[in-house]
């Protein structure tokens, strides 16, 4: 359904990460549906003829930016173990909507218009055209019969409808077409498998915060929380400039480590234990002085790596579902940039996830951890979260879209919820602040003048910019067993408590 109503951010041509809480066992599991580079991908694929990195837009709008899609395989893998309905049933609402038409959401229309940060390609304009040849606008009825046909095949054939046969052949054809053709083959598609993985869980404020392992961004989120835990951050509050100064400085330290060390663990050693070691976190926290200084350097984790040259977009979708039995899904999914690569197949948008690799494979003689390799999954900022209480029962599930800022969006809400004891909605609506390297951006209108002045005194001058792009969603389980859901007012998300489908069932919560 997201591929129909929010195709600029996600869909069957993309990938994602899922966390699942099983109410019977209390276990949290993770599934990696991240895209993979084709076997023929090379470390220099995003360099020009002079050995210089391509411009970001040129790389994105190319055939070589598309990785083997993973989200369909991930959903099928989850359904095989935990699904309650027949696979075919799950597609019927989206098939009907694609056939009968939807009213074009304002956000989708905004990315099709003249003011879009990534102007739509001709393929995108054709897909979203009106009968008169113009591009659809907000409120127009939009039908996507090609997408309905794709969903019908997925419903009947399972993932093989995407990874084999005519759709796969068309996907290979489109991605190997100039300019800058890619290397995807039918073998790459047929060989894709989603992976069950063990989540990484660490304590924060007497709760256990669980995230997917690398190449997802969750380890960096845990590092940020752990660094803040080594300061007096929790004793402060949302109107204290020192709290936001600590948040900004801990974020800068986290990004320095993330950009140097996080990558696909099947290809490089990722020092997870070192990055989350309490003694290491204490050393990192001790680097936070009274004023913002130069760009922080990555910490010493005894793993030599070159600097990273990855550029990231702020697309993506997130949703949370709690079912009638108390099982929980927290899932983040994306096609990467607005409308992905700008190329389409079968009524859906192809991802540009391979631009999440470092464009430069080496720097100063050291290989970048996130350099391109055939079969490798690019580093991701996606970090769906499930939080357990001290009895190991489900407490909350949450997450946000937003590119590399996902880590700070999630951290902001978690500290608001667990350290400052705000309601879920209050935590989500806290101002966004993004601090990475020598860049500080934030929602200036949401911070009090005193906070902005206090940050300025500490060497941080917030600029308006990318920090408004969160789309947070979450569900919290109250002490009485009822649920509280909330969605970010910055996007079009909603929280719904659905009525029981059958007599005797409990209602369940959906936030999307």
| Residues 99, 146: Cα–Cα separation, whole Å | 9
- DSSP letters, 53-91, are BPPHHHHHTSGGGPPBP-HHHHHHHHHHHH--S-GGGGG
CA pseudo-torsion sign 441, 442, 445, 449 = negative
| Residues 78, 497: Cα–Cα separation, whole Å | 23
Cβ atoms 384, 330 nearer than 8 A = yes
| Residues 463, 418: Cα–Cα separation, whole Å | 28
Tokens 């464009």 — which residue? Answer: 359
Selection from 321, 317, 263 nearest residue 78 by Cα: 321
CA pseudo-torsion sign 250, 413, 339, 466 = negative
| Residues 322, 508: Cα–Cα separation, whole Å | 6
| Residues 129, 117: Cα–Cα separation, whole Å | 19
- DSSP letters, 290-354, are SS--SPPPPP--S---PPP--------EEEEEE-TTS-EEEEEEE-SSTTTTS-EETTEEPP-GG
- What separation in angstroms does the CA of 227 have from each of 247, 249, 282, 295, 296? 9, 10, 7, 17, 14
In this structure, what are the phi and psi dihedrals at residue 439, rounded to the nearest 5 degrees?
-110, 130
* Helical spans, DSSP H, in 115-240: 122-127, 145-157, 160-163, 165-175, 186-190, 218-229
How far the first Cα of the chain sits from its last, in Å, is: 11
Selection from 259, 315, 342, 316 nearest residue 58 by Cα: 342
Mark whether 334 is an active-site residue.
Answer: no
> What six digits make up the tokens of 39?
């076997």
Catalytic residue among 175, 316, 332, 344: 316
| Residues 130, 364: Cα–Cα separation, whole Å | 52
Q: What is the largest CA-CA distance in the chain?
A: 68
How does strand 200-204 pair with strand 483-487?
A: unpaired
Selection from 228, 219, 287 nearest residue 258 by Cα: 219
Residues identified as active-site: 316
């Amino acid at each position: 359904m997201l591929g129909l109503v929010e195709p600029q951010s996600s869909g069957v041509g993309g990938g994602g990460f899922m966390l699942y809480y099983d109410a019977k066992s209390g276990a949290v599991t993770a599934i990696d549906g991240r895209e993979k580079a084709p076997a023929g991908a090379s470390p220099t694929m995003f360099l020009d003829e002079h050995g210089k990195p391509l411009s970001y837009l040129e790389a994105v709008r190319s055939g070589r930016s598309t990785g083997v899609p993973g989200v369909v395989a991930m959903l099928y893998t989850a359904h095989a173990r935990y699904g309650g309905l027949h696979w075919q049933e799950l597609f019927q609402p989206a098939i009907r909507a694609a056939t009968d038409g939807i009213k074009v959401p304002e956000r989708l229309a905004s990315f099709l218009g003249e003011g879009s940060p990534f102007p739509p390609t001709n393929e995108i304009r054709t897909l979203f055209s009106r009968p008169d040849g113009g591009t659809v606008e907000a409120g127009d009825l939009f039908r996507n019969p090609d997408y309905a046909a794709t969903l019908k095949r997925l419903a009947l054939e399972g993932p093989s409808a995407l990874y084999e046969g005519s759709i796969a052949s068309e996907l290979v054809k489109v991605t190997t077409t100039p300019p800058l053709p890619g290397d995807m083959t039918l073998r790459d598609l047929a060989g894709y498998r989603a992976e069950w993985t063990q989540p990484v869980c660490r304590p924060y404020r007497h709760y256990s915060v669980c995230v997917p392992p690398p190449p997802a961004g969750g380890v960096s989120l845990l590092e940020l929380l752990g660094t803040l835990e080594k300061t007096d951050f929790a004793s402060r509050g949302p109107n204290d400039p020192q709290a936001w100064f600590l948040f900004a400085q801990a974020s800068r330290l986290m990004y320095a480590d993330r950009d140097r060390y996080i990558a696909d663990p099947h290809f490089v050693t990722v020092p997870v234990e070192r990055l989350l070691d309490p003694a290491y976190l204490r050393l990192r926290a001790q680097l936070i002085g009274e004023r913002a200084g130069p760009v922080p350097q990555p910490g010493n984790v005894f793993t030599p790596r070159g600097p990273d040259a990855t550029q990231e977009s702020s697309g993506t979708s997130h949703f949370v579902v709690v079912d009638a039995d108390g099982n929980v899904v927290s899932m983040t999914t994306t096609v990467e940039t607005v409308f992905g690569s700008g190329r389409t197949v079968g009524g859906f948008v192809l991802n540009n996830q391979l631009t999440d690799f470092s464009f430069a494979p080496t720097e100063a003689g050291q290989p970048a951890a996130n350099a391109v390799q055939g079969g490798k999954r690019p580093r991701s900022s996606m970090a769906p979260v499930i939080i357990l209480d001290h009895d190991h029962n489900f407490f909350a599930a949450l997450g946000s879209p937003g590119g590399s800022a996902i880590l700070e969006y999630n951290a902001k809400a978690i500290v608001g919820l667990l350290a400052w004891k705000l309601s879920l909605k209050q935590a989500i609506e806290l101002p966004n602040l993004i601090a990475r390297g020598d860049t500080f951006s934030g929602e200036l209108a949401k911070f009090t003048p005193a906070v902005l002045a206090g940050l300025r005194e500490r060497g941080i001058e917030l600029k308006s910019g990318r920090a408004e792009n969160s789309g947070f969603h979450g569900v919290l389980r109250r002490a009485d067993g009822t649920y509280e859901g909330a969605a970010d007012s910055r996007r079009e998300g909603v929280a719904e408590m659905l009525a029981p489908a059958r007599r005797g069932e409990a209602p369940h919560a959906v936030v999307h």
